[in-house]
A = this chain, B = another copy of it.
Amino acid sequence: MRALILFVCLSVGGLATPRPKQCTSPPLLTGSFSVATQNEKLMGFAKYSYDALRKRIHLREVGSFNNKTFHIDLLLLYKEGVMYKINYKNRTCSKKPLSVEFHPLEIPQSASLLGQVVLGSSSGPGQGVLVNTWAGELKLKEGPAKYMSTVTEFGCIPVSTLFHRKKSGWVVVSFFNGIIGLVDPQHLIPPSFCEDARLESGEEPITFFNLF
């Protein structure tokens, strides 16, 4: 009898699989992503370092925008409210106001679960990964924007994010080669030649979404 009660308790409590919950990604992440817009104006690859503890992001992106290639190195320091645009080749640096709040890599509480699937297969080891896909609406200046985010069930690692922008259509961001931790913490510190950079004011404030 006692064994039966234990079995029932385990089935209802410990062993029962709950519905996936909105989750927050690890606070320190290093990895890469590709970004492409539906109107084909933007196509890029970026390496990122992400530090939610000290609210800093470093992006090094190459790509093409309106058929012109670009190469950009950005350091976003949200606590200081500044963004550095760094040119390591010429050792120049521009410093711009960063007006937005840092928002962590997470699935917002308001998101609703679209479903849980295995990308690839669950038939053998290394053949797939279990992911959850969430959908919702971002509140952007231009109006509400639909998004769809996929993260791994284990670890809440970002896999892909789609969001809709009026000017470019769907923006598809695919994350890969994620590593928990900072591979090179120095990437999140402004280089020495940025020390003399003066804050450029009077420009349109930068948001994460008009970086794309």
A138-178 with Cβ < 8 A to chain B = 152-155, 157-159, 174-178
Give the contacting residue for A121; candidates B124, B127, B174, B178; CB below 8 A: B178
- Interface size of A as a range: 20 to 34
Mark A115-144 against chain B: 1 for CB-CB distance below 8 A, else 0: 001111111111111110000000000000
A32 lies within 8 A of chain B by Cβ: yes
- A155 interface neighbour in B117, B121, B154, B179, Cβ under 8 Å: B121
Q: Which of these, B31, B121, B131, B181, contacts A179 with CB under 8 Å?
A: B121
What separation, in Å, do the CA atoms of A154 and B120 have in the docked complex? 10
Decide: A155 and B178 in contact? CB cutoff 8 A.
no
Q: Contact between A179 and B124 (Cβ–Cβ < 8 Å)?
A: no
**Which residues of the other chain, B, contact A11 by a CB distance below 8 angstroms?**
none
Q: Which chain A residues numbered 87 to 123 have a C-beta less than 8 Å away from chain B? A: 117-123
Whether the pair B155, A118 counts as a contact (CB closer than 8 A) is: no
A199 interface contact, C-beta 8 A: no
Residues of B within 8 A of A121 (CB): 29, 31, 152, 155, 157, 177-180
Beta-carbon nearest neighbor of A34 in chain B: B117
Q: Does A38 contact B (CB under 8 A)?
A: yes
Query: How far is A118 from B120 in the complex, measured between Cα atoms in Å?
Result: 12
Q: Which 7 A-B pairs have the closest CB atoms?
A: A121-B178, A126-B154, A123-B180, A117-B176, A127-B155, A129-B129, A121-B157
